[in-house]
Amino acid sequence: MLDFGGRSGTIASARAAAMAFDLEHNATLQNVALQAEAAYFTYQGQQSLVIGARETVAEADSNLAAARERNRAGVATIADVLQAETQLAQSQLDLETAEGRCRRRGQPRPGDGLEGQCPVRSRAAPDTMTVSMVSTQVDTLIDRALELRPDLAHFGRASSRLRPRCV
């Protein structure tokens, strides 16, 4: 008849374990979202490096053409032409390296569970964003997060810690 609080302790323990599992699940989802965001920005950076490397190759190619013309005119030495050829070859190697990194970043890795899928394609981030547009979006997202996420509720009391300060 008397269990000396054993039953209520078991129930409280089960509730605490369920809450711990739920919070662990939420933390896992947050980590996955963070990794996806980091991968996206890394991929965008790699794409920008490819664009820059292409421009460098075009510039090195025009420098080589100019060095050859100067050599034909007798204004430059063969060493200038060879140096321009070396710079072109180095910039082409840098372009190949950047393109390879970009392709590798866009492919699913073994163990991701996405093997055999199409390569990842993403649109470039917008070049121009106003501070007011970003701060409005951030305020909306913070309000929504406070409504939907009970684990963030304690931040709701001091929401000034969450809100960015735009000057």
Q: What is the pLDDT along the chain (167 residues), one digit of tens a residue?
A: 567 777 888 888 999 999 999 999 989 998 998 888 888 888 888 888 999 999 999 999 999 999 999 999 999 999 999 999 999 999 999 999 999 888 876 555 555 555 544 555 666 666 666 666 666 777 788 788 778 777 776 655 444 454 554 44
Spatial distance between the Cα atoms of 128 and 109, rounded to a whole number of angstroms: 32
The upper half-sphere exposure of residue 118, i.e. CA atoms within 13 Å in the direction of its Cβ, equals 3
| Model pTM score | 0.57
Within 13 Å, how many C-alpha atoms sit on residue 17's CB side? 6
Amino acid at site 60? A
Residue 132 CB neighbours (<10 A): 9
Closest CA to 124 of 71, 54, 50, 60: 50
Burial of 18 (C-beta count, 10 Å sphere; 0-12/13-18/19+): exposed
The torsion of the CA quartet 15, 17, 22, 25, rounded to 10 degrees, works out to -170
Residue type, 82: L
Topology at the third CATH level for domain 7-108 = Four Helix Bundle (Hemerythrin (Met), subunit A) (1.20.120)
